[in-house]
Structure 1
């Protein structure tokens, strides 16, 4: 299995494997806050249900450009919050564009180094696909909205603000040491917050991300399209420079759900099991989580690590850097080091290898079957 192999590699790198760790980042008596940053979708609501189920107060939700442009993602966040009477949670527009990268630059890079199986918002514009059901990609106007993609219903509410990075800074200063930053899309907003306020990262509790695959190049060649897709890293590659800024910032801890995010796959059996309890969220999950294929529980894995770190059964402390050389075939990918061989200006992170998969599915199932609402949060 790829995960046990990778774990042995990291053991050699760091000598710092955790097995069945305690929960070092959670004080049972401390109020827990989080800001959730993602490229939201019709079935992308599960992470915020998991956070609420764990008793975490969501200060706000931010949108990022990764799978689609950030404004479309923000609308999906607004719509899925509305579905479950959770519109008391504010949504903030994130940065529309990465720090440097553009669709044109990305497509030029692909012409030299090969096409990514999943190109996200930087896929070439397809008017027919957008008219039918797809979220917007490339094109002249990144702020356009394609209503056909809102299978969850079009939102009736609007975003609370237009600057997710400023909101993040405001909140970590309001609650120093208590705010977890969850990022399951591009790291652009986090990078901007780091650059806007040199105390932002150190004042946060932690940064937990989904992305950052290691040594998966061969896996992209050894199976079908889905195998190649789930082993390519659009979250970091759409904004390599932003990824480097965020992942070298002085957060007290950075937790990476990279390869481990592919460990637990969705299945029809599990979707049917969740749908045994009927509500708007379980219906959306049942209909649309596997609309095209049975993907891994990527974003849910990262949220599970934030909500309950004891789900981590095997991890290493390593140093990482992000390749920002535009001419490199590894542009936007991470490289890992042990302390003796690291380059300057990088920092250590917690790289998770394996999780308790049954526990993850239990967390998902409970949060979707019995979701919290604004009435619950106000009680």
Structure 2
């Protein structure tokens, strides 16, 4: 009997691990999305992908993760402006994580080891900012703007005032119930605030698509280069683990996690050269500033949101986030099968692999032939 039970469990796991890609959506339906991210000079590809696919981008919101949210909002404004996409509104997100602070993060590192990429919690460096880096920790003024970092040009437009990112998200899912995809490629603070502000927010959204959530990458962090450790660090989740926990246990109809798969496709000089065969402001920025060190993280999550059939291997798993501050896994995820999961967690669609050729073709078309407000 025990042997039979084991076979049934293994059969269930196998069906999950080797499941077919989740169903292709109706291509005639109206698509809506809100894009939440820690925007940067070369971080515009996700919104180009979205509009290229015909998605109605209701708004862009800024997240504190790689840098402070206000700097990210200005990058969003600037990169929208260069492509005549300023008809898409930008909303300021939460400046601070729910609990985490620079001092708290540094104390955690003193016990559990240094992360190769600390994002906004990297020590304040005035020299680096003067040379063009985005601002990092300086609790005296997290709303300062470092103009030197705007290699794309300083924005002439402004973000919407009087309404926070979380309020905007709630407003839009109530306006279009069951139709709005929430894309989160930075920290999940804004999403968590929306969940807490409105108990119906998550259930009224269409889905939550997350970039982040790595599984079993500790050996990669330990045995590879420092850059390999960087690539396998879950900084989006670690900036605000408590918000991550709230978002990943909320009752969204579906949560899609682009974790390890986001490391599948790394930028190469050959691909950047190919993109720049068609010259425009976006292809120029990508060619000059995207680099060849990191994967297409945020772009992977957006491609999955646009067309789930690009996922060639997915798993349905139950997922939890470690919010124990004393843990070396603070901010990291752990996955379970239903028979073994702890209480109060939920299932997610975890993407394991995507079609690389289709993915790169999506990026190439969106960047080489970007849509503008005249096309929307």
Is the shorter-chain TM-score for this pair beyond 0.5, marking a shared fold?
A: yes
Counterpart in the other structure of 2:254: 253
Structure 1, residues 330-354: CA drift from partner, whole Å, max 9, x if none? 0000010100111111000000000
Shift of 1:223: 1.5
> What TM-score does the superposition give when structure 2 sets the normalisation length?
0.95
- Contact 2:20–2:314 (CA<8 Å) still a contact in 1? no
- Contact 1:13–1:337 (CA<8 Å) still a contact in 2? no
> What TM-score does the superposition give when structure 1 sets the normalisation length?
0.94
Counterpart in the other structure of 1:211: 212
Counterpart in the other structure of 1:69: 68
Counterpart in the other structure of 2:40: 41
Q: How many residues align?
A: 365
Counterpart in the other structure of 1:268: 269
Structure 1, residues 321-378: CA drift from partner, whole Å, max 9, x if none? 100000000000001010011111100000000000111100000000000000111x
Shift of 1:21: 2.5
- TM-aligned CA distance change 1:57 to 1:11, over 3 Å: farther
1:314 corresponds to 2:323? no
Q: Residues of 1 paired with 2:123 and 2:324: CA distance? A: 23
Q: Residues of 2 paired with 1:211 and 1:13: CA distance? A: 22
Structure 1, residues 54-76: CA drift from partner, whole Å, max 9, x if none? 11000000000000000000000
In structure 2, stretches of 5+ residues that fail to align are 1-9
In structure 1, stretches of 5+ residues that fail to align are 1-9
Q: Residues of 1 paired with 2:89 and 2:184: CA distance? A: 16
Shift of 1:16: 1.4
Q: Residues of 2 paired with 1:84 and 1:23: CA distance? A: 33
- TM-aligned CA distance change 1:11 to 1:189, over 3 Å: farther
Per mean C-alpha deviation after superposition, the further-off stretch among 157-166 and 12-21 is 12-21
User: 3-state SS of the aligned residue for 1:218?
Assistant: helix
Shift of 1:280: 0.3
Counterpart in the other structure of 1:353: 352
- Contact 2:131–2:148 (CA<8 Å) still a contact in 1? yes
Give the superposed CA RMSD.
1.3
- Contact 2:21–2:314 (CA<8 Å) still a contact in 1? no
Q: Residues of 1 paired with 2:293 and 2:322: CA distance? A: 30
Shift of 1:17: 3.3
Counterpart in the other structure of 1:147: 147
User: 3-state SS of the aligned residue for 2:16?
Assistant: coil
- TM-aligned CA distance change 1:243 to 1:22, over 3 Å: closer
- In the TM superposition, what are the counterparts of 1:207-356 in structure 2 within 5 Å? 207-290=208-291, 293-356=292-355
- Extract structure 1 runs of 4+ deviating beyond 2 A: 10-15, 17-24, 26-29
